[in-house]
């Protein structure tokens, strides 16, 4: 009798571990959790239970995982499955200091313009989800030290409360509310953004720290918008930051990808084609006259356009439709600005 009791305890443990291993792979429906249990703990793991009885036994195991293993494991309607949303007390993973330093290096090295950026950061984000709070703090200290070693300081005045709140949100993987002053609004009024923060980085070209985040909503004078896209916020323009209780999903939202196709004149393409920041180049077609047709993708039309503008008249964007529209609009506004400048200069000369 005693032996049977011990075996049943071990069977419960095997079932719970099978569930944890399955949700570590990604969101799973309850039927998929049952299949994982039967495959890993044996076909008799739940006896002959079916239907609602089987569902109750699974729910009992999920309760044991939450209560005994301190895992925030539950159903998420957005993904349509059960998933690990966080670790309360007992981490699923621990790593030596040298591995934490490597993760910090990978986060700093694989910037937004790096190949496989999304895949690398999805992997690192999953590893960080399973680390304990103490080790996450050590990892964030490694990142901060590495960033300060590699990059000059931002000249923007960044409030200590903003830095502290941002560090806490990244550490605890929580949403934040930003009061953000963007130059794109002519009224000069800041807007409130609710975002999922994913990482901060220093851009050596622009000389500022940025927060790469998924923008859920923006509240402004014209009402509420829901962009649901990734935005790179300049940290120095964040006036206030509030950490919200909502925890992030372990799987970040997918970034939309836009086709990019542009021509480079012979004088810049003849000696080699530079792969610009923010564009993932997939194909380079060289022509007999020395020019080149470059095809690729981007997840940021804003920065891709500005990366190509440095070529000046030696570059012409010919596809896809989104970046062509964005480039035409930027060039049109630039032309209007220079036309106004000519009018001002002519009036100045006439009055002289």
Find, among 255, 258, 287, the residue nearest to 273 by Cα: 287
Predicted local distance difference test score (pLDDT) of residue 89: 66
CB within 8 Å of 40: residues ≥ 6 apart? 14, 17, 18, 21
Q: At what angle do helices 2-25 and 51-68 cross, to 10 degrees?
A: 80
d(CA 71, CA 324): 47
Find, among 289, 351, 293, the residue nearest to 319 by Cα: 293
Q: Tokens 């008249």 identify what position? A: 313
Predicted local distance difference test score (pLDDT) of residue 5: 44
Q: Tokens 């690729």 identify what position? A: 296
Predicted local distance difference test score (pLDDT) of residue 177: 98
Predicted local distance difference test score (pLDDT) of residue 145: 67
Predicted local distance difference test score (pLDDT) of residue 3: 45
Predicted local distance difference test score (pLDDT) of residue 315: 94
Predicted local distance difference test score (pLDDT) of residue 253: 82
Residue 266, SS3?
A: helix
pLDDT in 10s for each residue of the chain, 352 residues: 344 444 588 889 999 999 999 998 889 999 999 999 999 888 888 888 888 889 899 999 999 998 888 888 888 887 889 988 777 667 888 899 899 989 888 887 776 556 677 788 888 888 888 887 788 878 877 876 666 555 445 678 888 889 888 888 887 889 999 999 998 888 889 999 999 998 887 776 677 888 989 999 999 988 999 998 899 999 999 999 999 999 887 677 877 889 999 999 999 888 788 877 778 889 999 999 999 999 999 988 888 998 899 899 999 999 999 999 999 999 998 888 887 666 555 655 655 5
Predicted local distance difference test score (pLDDT) of residue 283: 92
pTM, two decimals, is 0.54
Predicted local distance difference test score (pLDDT) of residue 314: 94
Q: Tokens 């993904």 identify what position? A: 79
Predicted local distance difference test score (pLDDT) of residue 320: 94
């Amino acid at each position: 009798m005693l032996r049977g009791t011990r075996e049943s305890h071990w069977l419960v443990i095997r079932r719970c571990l099978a569930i944890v291993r399955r949700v570590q792979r990604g969101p799973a429906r309850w039927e998929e959790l049952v299949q994982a249990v039967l495959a890993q703990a044996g076909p008799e793991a739940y006896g002959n239970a079916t239907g609602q009885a089987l569902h109750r036994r699974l729910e009992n195991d999920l309760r044991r995982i939450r209560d005994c293993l301190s895992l925030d494991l539950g159903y998420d309607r957005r993904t349509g499955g059960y998933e690990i949303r966080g670790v309360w007390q007992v981490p699923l993973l621990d790593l030596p200091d040298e591995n934490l330093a490597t993760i910090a290096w990978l986060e700093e090295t694989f910037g937004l313009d790096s190949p496989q950026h999304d895949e690398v950061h999805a992997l690192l984000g999953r590893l960080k989800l399973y680390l304990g709070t103490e080790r996450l703090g050590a990892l964030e200290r490694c990142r901060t030290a590495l960033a300060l070693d590699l990059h000059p300081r931002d000249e923007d005045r960044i409030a200590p409360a903003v830095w502290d709140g941002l560090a806490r949100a990244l550490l605890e993987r929580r949403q934040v509310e930003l009061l953000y002053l963007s130059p794109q609004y002519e009224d000069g009024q800041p807007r409130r953004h609710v975002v999922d923060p994913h990482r901060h980085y220093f851009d050596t070209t622009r000389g500022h720290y940025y927060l790469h985040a998924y923008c859920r909503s923006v509240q402004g004078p014209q009402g509420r918008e829901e962009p649901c896209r990734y935005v790179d916020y300049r940290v120095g323009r964040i006036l206030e930051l509030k950490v919200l209780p909502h925890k992030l999903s372990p799987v970040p939202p997918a970034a939309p990808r836009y086709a990019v196709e542009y021509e480079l004149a012979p004088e810049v393409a003849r000696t080699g084609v530079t792969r610009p920041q923010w564009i993932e180049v997939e194909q380079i077609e060289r022509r007999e006259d020395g020019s080149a047709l470059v095809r690729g993708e981007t997840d940021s039309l804003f920065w891709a356009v500005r990366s190509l503008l440095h070529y000046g008249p030696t570059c012409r964007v010919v596809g896809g439709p989104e970046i062509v529209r964005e480039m035409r609009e930027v060039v049109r506004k630039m032309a209007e600005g220079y036309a106004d400048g000519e009018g001002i200069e002519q009036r100045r000369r006439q009055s002289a």
